[in-house]
Amino acid sequence: MASIPIVVFSDHSGRFIAGIEAQRGNVTVARHVHDMSEVFGLGQTGIVRAALLVADYTDYLTQSMVAQLHEVGVAVVAVTDPGIDLEIHGVAVIDALADTPTVIESIETAVANLHTLTFDRAPAADTAALSTTVTVEAAEALSLTSSEKGRVITVWGSTGAPGRTTVATHLAATLTAQGYSTVLVDADTYGPALGITLGLLDEYSGISQICHYADRNMLTDEKYREYVSSIDLAGKTLDIITGITRADRWPEVREKSFTSVLDYLRSRYQAVVIDTAFSLEADEEITFDGLAPRRNAAAITAVEQASDIVVVGSADVVGFPRLVRAFEELNQSHLQLATDHRKHVWINKMRSETTGSRGRGEVERAWSRFGPATPITGFIPHEPSILDKALLTGKTIVEIKDAQSLTDTFTELARSLMGAIAAGHSNATVVTKKSVLARVRHRLQPSRGARRG
């Protein structure tokens, strides 16, 4: 077997280092460090093939950390107390009382199995935790089968407030009203606004908490229900994952953990609607640091994981050129879009004051001349009075009277996304009527409503 140089993290007593060096075998200690960033640095330079974590690693050991080390060809082996197992996928566990030959064998096995590990599966559902609250139908269909995975619908667009949050909110409400099991996710790490838009108090960040548990492979249905918010739409429930409470909390939504969350959601809902930020910049200047999160990881992940990308732009002389340039960003080399993804271009805030008397015809001609080959899918009328009323009361257009024009438009948008998929599939968040009432955030009018603390 080829030599296996390793980095040892925090072997305070030196027992593991001394034992490995005394064997003079294939496994050798290249470096002993006490800073996790040095582990990543050594891995990225190719100096080591495995990391032996002895102590003081619990704050660093996450699914994201393990995946990042695996990506640079470094296996992860952790020392634990007798009888203690780790919930992190891809980590080989060694008993603290194990002898040196067992330690070496575990390291060799971890390196040999490194390339057989994958990180595209969500943690298993905690079905036992649901047994007292789910209905019989939900228990029988706790999660969608592999052939019935839900659609991830990412609403994205250029900078300049083209209406991403508005479109995502009312699209999710429309899908819910049509009977699709739907969750609305606020993944905008620059200006999260879903909680405010729907009259929910942003006491904590749902997405941060859920990503935290997913990163540690501890996301169960019970934990999920604790941090998801819900609103009642004419007897149907729309689940909502609120965004970060401050823009400087963006490092809490990392690529690997957010991917795990989306895998979890698509197995439980027919539609996962994501409101995301505008920037898809790759942060190339910090990619050398394995510990550093990417500023735009949430937006990039939402776009890359999407079954459908709803590209939103505004119909004015500033917003339209931005839309054309933004659409080109989706073809950047650093983005790895799903092979079967679909792009849908929707022009928002359509009004004659900005587009002229010919309206749609002028916009379509400009798009065919300056835009890409993808045609415009549809147009969303500018109805400020209706949207202002919805925002003031924390409601969606499906709850507002005299919103027929917008309702028809979003119905068309929903139909173009879901196609022939039948609505009404049970999912893991279906609960008894009593539980639904306990979870609904009653929104007061005209003031903002309170949510459960």
Looking at 3.40.50.10850, 2.60.40.10, 3.30.300.180, 3.90.1010.10, the CATH number of the domain 4-116 comes to 3.40.50.10850
Same fold flag, 4-116 and 128-439: yes
**What's residue 44's pLDDT?**
84
Average pLDDT for consecutive 10-residue bins of the chain (453 residues)? 88 92 90 90 88 90 86 91 81 91 93 72 35 32 60 94 94 96 96 90 84 88 92 92 90 90 95 95 61 83 95 90 89 83 92 72 85 88 92 92 92 89 53 37 40 35
| C-beta atoms surrounding 351 within 10 Å | 13
Query: Which two three-digit tokens encode residue 82?
Result: 């007798």
pLDDT at residue 289, as a whole number: 52
pLDDT of residue 84: 79
Helix, strand, or coil here: 134?
strand
For residue 430, the model assigns a pLDDT of: 42
Q: What would the two tokens of residue 283 be?
A: 């942060």
* pLDDT for residue 41: 86
Domain ranges of the chain: 4-116, 128-439
Report the C-alpha gap between 382 and 208 in whole angstroms. Answer: 33
Look at residue 333 in the predicted model and tell me its pLDDT. 66
Q: Is 385 exposed, middle or buried (0-12, 13-18, 19+ CB in 10 A)?
A: exposed
From CA 330, how far away is CA 198, in angstroms rounded? 29
Residue 411's pLDDT is what?
95
| E-only strand ranges, 242-326 | 271-276, 308-314
pLDDT, residue 46, reads 86
| 128-439 CATH fold | Rossmann fold (3.40.50)
Task: With H, G, I as helix, E, B as strand and everything else as coil, classify residue 312.
Answer: strand
What global pTM score does this model have? 0.73
